[in-house]
Amino acid sequence: MNTTFNIAPGIGGLTPYVPGKPVSELERELDIYDSVKLASNENPLGPSPLVTEALKDELHELSRYPDGGGFALRGRLSERHLIGDERITLGNGSNDVLDMIARVFLWPGREAVMSEHAFAVYPISSQAVGATIRVAPARDYGHDLAAMRALVGEDTGVVFIANPNNPTGTWLRRGELRDFLDDLPAHVVAVVDEAYTEYVDEPDYPDASEWLDELPNLIVTRTFSKAWGLAGLRVGYALSSLEIADLLNRVRQPFNVNLLAQLAAGFALDDEAHMREGVSFNACGMGQIVSGVHALGLDYIPSVGNFLCIDVGRDAAEVDQALLREGVITRPVANYGLPRHLRVSIGMPEENARFLEALEKVLST
């Protein structure tokens, strides 16, 4: 890219992340007023009512800076994960943590290893700091750990693993992931992104945070954006060794997690039952959408997350546009190398039904 300015290496080649359009904007454009948004893997049940109630009492505090150390929230997370609070790094969403990781461990000449179809923020964060991206071809849409391992070399700074991955919903089993991590050279930082961990109900699905004491180069990231229903407030965190947490904190902005976000995350943790309820809605909704998609004779990528990638058998961007005219917002994923797939987030039962009806209509024309 040619610009007037001298810019940092990597920036010119970046394509900005394209977020879903806000519902209000879209409704105005299309003159539709009852649309359903199943485009960003948000929680259709919303956060716990404890959160929304409790935050009302905190609004008078808005002139204050938040606790820059996130003391209370890190304390809660420390109990939850049985890990010292000094090993927890809070982020303005887990994307913020991914950015910090890239800033500490990647620079021009260094390499980030990831899988084809992996979460879009990994290449963005890596390229923004001028690092080279090495992408291993996927196997059955999922991470091929052997292919990823083959790309790891002297210049590798970080390996990014999404378990489960977005947008594919594929996941890695305990044994294979642990073997891969054990086999990594000690200088390589492994990021295991567990943004959707709460949704996964597979006996062989690992909680990588249990390995932190044995693997000093491991970082596990978690978020309040999905199962906890707080995407709009932006809270996520990294669990790591003390040494890595100390490095991440050197680049962390002092007040990166805002006052309401810190409080909301704490209140959300007080109502785990609500989170679990959302997870069971998701399981039902996944069943509903999978059987609807089956009935339409379409293929899909089996998913353990709160979303499903459906092979619509044609250019999914066109199907997406046609669905928009029916008031249903989904996400085409050509930017992930999946031009015929449409990612739909699991909604409430009536939203899922709306989606399936609209999909049937759109595909029959």
Ligand X SMILES: *Cc1c(COP(=O)(O)O)cnc(C)c1O
CB-count exposure of residue 54 (10 Å: 0-12, 13-18, 19+): middle
Would you report the helix, strand and coil content of the chain in percent, each value rounded to 5?
40, 15, 40
Q: Which of residues 255-274 bind ligand X (CB under 6 A)?
A: none
Q: Is 223 in the site for ligand X (CB under 6 A)?
A: yes
Q: How far is the CB of 166 from ligand X (least distance, A)?
A: 3
CB-nearer residue toward ligand X: 193 or 198: 193
Distance CA(144)–CA(113), nearest Å, equals 12
Q: Is 120 in the site for ligand X (CB under 6 A)?
A: no
- Using the rule CB under 6 A, which residue among 35, 41, 168, 217 binds ligand X? 41
Q: How far is the CB of 8 from ligand X (least distance, A)?
A: 22
CB-nearer residue toward ligand X: 95 or 170: 95
Q: Is 170 in the site for ligand X (CB under 6 A)?
A: no
Helices then strands, each counted (H, E), the chain: 12, 13
Q: What SS3 state is found at 73?
A: helix
Q: Give start and end residues of each alpha helix (H) in the chain.
A: 23-30, 49-56, 71-81, 94-105, 121-128, 145-151, 174-183, 242-251, 259-270, 272-295, 316-325, 349-363
- Using the rule CB under 6 A, which residue among 47, 169, 236, 292 binds ligand X? 236
Q: Is 119 in the site for ligand X (CB under 6 A)?
A: yes
Closest CA to 49 of 293, 229, 315, 257: 229
Q: Is 95 in the site for ligand X (CB under 6 A)?
A: yes
Window of 91-99, 107-115, 152-160, 308-316 that interacts with ligand X by CB under 6 A: 91-99
Q: Is 166 in the site for ligand X (CB under 6 A)?
A: yes
Number of residues lying near ligand X (CB under 6 A): 14
Distance CA(180)–CA(215), nearest Å, equals 12
Q: Is 326 in the site for ligand X (CB under 6 A)?
A: no
- Positions in the binding site for ligand X (CB under 6 A): 41, 93-95, 119, 162, 166, 193, 195, 223, 225-226, 231, 236
